[in-house]
Amino acid sequence: MTIKDLHSVFLKFPSVSTDTRKINEGDIFFALKGDNFNGNFYAEQALKQGASYAVVDEEEFNKSDRTILVNDTLASLQQLANYHRKFCKAKIISLTGSNGKTTTKELINAVLSTTYKTIATKGNLNNHIGVPLTLLSIKPDTEIAIVEMGANHLNEITFLSSIAEPDFGYITNFGKAHLEGFGGVKGVIRGKSELYEYLTKNNKSIFLNADDPIQLNKLKSYTHKYGFSTENSKYYNIEYLGAQPFVRVKFDHIEATSNLIGSYNFHNCCAAIIMGKYFNVELSQIKNAIENYTPQNNRSQIIETAGHYIILDAYNANPSSMKAALENFSTLDKPNKIAILGDMFELGDSADVEHQTIAQITEKLNIDQMILIGENFYRTKITSNKFKKFDDLKHYLNEHPILQNSTILIKGSRGMALERLLEII
């Protein structure tokens, strides 16, 4: 079956699933493969659960008039997504970066959805499977699609760009994330910049943070760019009014107070503002969208209990985001500040150095107590409380409850699942 024919089927049944645990009536099931699973074995089950069709790539599973045999299910999913992207009229905004992608994506969607019919990447479905699924969620009346792109090695953004073919792009920043896959910070910059390379090669438009010298230098001769800055008069001015604890911004004489903590979220707000301006969203609508957006899913969530003020930032962590979060935490005018930090993953040979650096930075900041958890932090040459395993920390906190009226930052990589601390604290 050709991709065009497959798309004709998709138009009749415009929803896709790759997981039989989440099948909805009428879904087209794509039998993907992984290192430890083969989706072809679940094709029949998907059909029994209500899938309209099952796309398989092994002849022995092509047993029904509702199975579609292709050479490679993943490649077919990606090709179908690209075909659908071209079929629809929606403008595509792609964004990548080391930190803040998901928050920025959601802010952009909050702003643009006040005026346009939009769709955006759900959660962090931003890889070689997630990007196609996002593109296939574009409806006939969708006007703008915001597509998040993640990467942990070179050439990944190039590949995702070839599927999404974005009309616009934005890079949040270049930081110390996925150092193991990229081979260092220079590799991170090269990898994330692949989005710029695609956009400039195809004469597409770029949004940029003109306060970032890396972005400014890479795009200095490119004309189709629209930037923001706190001081460069060549670009749209947005003023940072502080974060105690929530980020406050000023643009076009309008002040907005977000629900986002930390100065590191300022540029995320700026990206949404500049795109709102570009797409002619009313200033009052931009302000309302920024002020009404509330972070979820363990991303810089504020949780106030009877005894504690907790900043839960346990969705992800790398040296850049960890340093920014700690520096902001130290500036808060709050009592008894305690930082509970979990291991940062995917740092490769840099893991020991980066964890030691973060621990030393924390010791020098205006933070009353530091608690470290994880095998990497456990190896640091730090005298603070440190625990190799979560259960060890849990036992300690049960025996030594945190004092009432404390301000607590909880931050670590997703694999640490530090949101579990909420039940203890």
What is the predicted pLDDT for the residue at 154? 86
Taking the C-alpha atoms of residue 288 and residue 48, their distance in angstroms, rounded to an integer, is 46
CA–CA dist 386, 388 (Å, integer)? 7
- In degrees rounded to 5, what are phi and psi of residue 88? -85, 165
Residues 215-270 have pLDDT tens digits of: 998 898 999 999 999 999 999 999 999 988 899 999 999 999 999 988 889 999 99
| Pairwise CA distance, residues 311 & 216, whole Å | 33
- Closest among 137, 143, 145 to 14, alpha carbons compared: 137
| pLDDT band, very low/low/confident/very high, at 181 (cuts 50, 70, 90) | low
Q: Residue 383: which pLDDT band, with cuts at 50, 70 and 90?
A: confident
- Whole-angstrom CA distances from 51 to 21, 137, 295, 390 are 12, 17, 33, 41
417: left (phi over 0), alpha (psi -120 to 50) or beta: left
User: For residue 2, what pLDDT band results from cuts at 50, 70 and 90?
Assistant: very high
What is the average pLDDT value for the chain, to the nearest integer? 92
Domains by residue range for the chain, with CATH: 3-71 (3.40.1390.10), 88-292 (3.40.1190.10), 301-424 (3.90.190.20)
Query: What's the one-letter identity of residue 49?
Result: Q
Q: Give the Cα separation of 424 and 415 in Å (integer).
A: 18
Q: What integer pLDDT is reported at residue 284 of this predicted model?
A: 97
Q: Count H helices and E strands in the chain, helices first.
A: 17, 20
Q: How confident is the model over 365-385, as a mean pLDDT?
A: 93
What value does the mean pLDDT take over residues 420-424?
A: 91
Which pLDDT belongs to residue 136? 98
> Above 90 in pLDDT, residue 389?
yes
Classify burial at 288, counting beta carbons within 10 Å of its beta carbon; exposed 0-12, middle 13-18, buried 19 or more: middle
pLDDT at 192 over 90: no
pLDDT of residue 388: 95
CB under 8 Å to 353, separation ≥6 — which residues? none
Residue that the structure tokens 């006040």 belong to:
114
Q: Other CB atoms closer than 10 Å to residue 22's CB: what's the count? A: 9
- For the stretch 213-227, pLDDT in tens is 999 988 989 999 999
pLDDT tens sequence across 193-206: 899 999 999 999 99
What was the pLDDT predicted at 324?
Answer: 87
60-89 pLDDT, tens digit each: 999 899 999 999 999 999 999 999 999 999
**182 pLDDT exceeds 70?**
no
Q: Look at residue 5 and tell me whether its pLDDT is greater than 90.
A: yes
For the entire predicted model, the pTM comes to 0.85
